[in-house]
């Protein structure tokens, strides 16, 4: 039977760790993010996290019921980073575009954490705040409720899907990532035009574009579609 999670204000009154650090949920999540960045998902265990915090691993279960709940907190922290400083302007398209780019960037900045969390639903405060903001932007712009939910679904899933794709590339060993990116020059740019005429004509452009994220382009295409829908309804 799992131990009960102690409320945050009660946790803070406990004795500090051996090195004088007072544990908090935020500190644990921050340390977990650092461990993911340095060691990948296989390096994140309660034992190793306890060692990094100079605390008994069992102490972590006063803050989280298990490593899965910690994973959800990590995902919510990334969304919190994306929301920091974001304010709606009242213009639906710039607001959604900036929100999407912020969320994508927050995940891509932590590739290993993104691989763990982009497919999860946390139900935590930052995720709820982001969802409320996106829905509010769309409803305030005048979209009917059913269309708002449809666009919200596409917007969120597209953002997280590209974040997962781009994070997966960045999580590769540097040699593998360099080799993958180099193939646009070493292979695609040298294909015979008689067998691959369309690739050959596009090769210079492909070599420049395919090593960058397609998310901004895909996001603009989605927003173009929403704009056309709004124009046709007005």
pTM beyond cutoff 0.75: yes
- Can you give the pLDDT at residue 28? 95
CATH 1.10.10.60 fits 8-65, yes or no: yes
DSSP notation for 44-69? --HHHHHHHHTS-GGGGGGT-SSHHH
- Can you give the pLDDT at residue 13? 38
Listed as ranges, residues in the chain with pLDDT below 50 are: 1-3, 6, 11-13
Give 163-176 pLDDT, tens digit per residue: 999 999 999 999 99
Radius of gyration of the chain, Cα coordinates, nearest whole angstrom: 22
Virtual torsion, Cα 26, 28, 29, 30, nearest 10 deg: 80
66 and 2 in contact (C-beta within 8 Å)?
A: yes
- Can you give the pLDDT at residue 68? 94
Phi/psi at 118 (5° precision):
-65, -25
As to burial, measured by CB atoms within 10 angstroms (0-12 exposed, 13-18 middle, 19+ buried), residue 46 is middle
- Can you give the pLDDT at residue 161? 98
Can you give the residue ranges of every domain in the chain? 8-65, 91-233
CATH number of 91-233: 1.10.357.10
């Amino acid at each position: 039977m799992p131990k009960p999670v102690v409320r945050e204000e009660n946790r803070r009154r406990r004795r500090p760790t051996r090195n004088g650090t007072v544990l908090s949920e935020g500190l644990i999540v921050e340390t977990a993010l650092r461990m993911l960045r340095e060691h990948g998902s296989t390096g994140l265990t309660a034992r190793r996290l306890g060692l990094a915090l100079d605390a008994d691993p069992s102490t972590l279960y006063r803050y989280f019921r298990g490593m899965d709940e910690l994973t959800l907190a990590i995902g919510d922290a990334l969304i919190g980073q994306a929301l920091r400083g974001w304010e709606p302007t009242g213009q639906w398209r710039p607001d959604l575009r900036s929100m999407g780019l912020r969320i994508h960037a927050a995940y891509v900045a932590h590739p290993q954490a993104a691989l763990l969390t982009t497919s999860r639903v946390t139900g935590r405060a930052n995720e709820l705040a982001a969802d409320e903001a996106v829905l509010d932007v769309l409803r305030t712009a005048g979209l009917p409720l059913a269309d708002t939910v449809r666009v919200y679904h596409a917007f969120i899933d597209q953002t997280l899907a590209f974040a997962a794709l781009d994070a997966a590339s960045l999580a590769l060993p540097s040699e593998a990532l360099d080799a993958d990116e180099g193939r646009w020059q070493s292979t695609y740019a040298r294909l015979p035009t008689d067998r691959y005429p369309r690739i050959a004509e596009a090769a210079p452009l492909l070599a420049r574009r395919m090593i960058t994220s397609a998310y901004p382009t895909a996001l603009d295409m989605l927003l173009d579609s929403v704009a056309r829908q709004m124009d046709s309804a007005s």
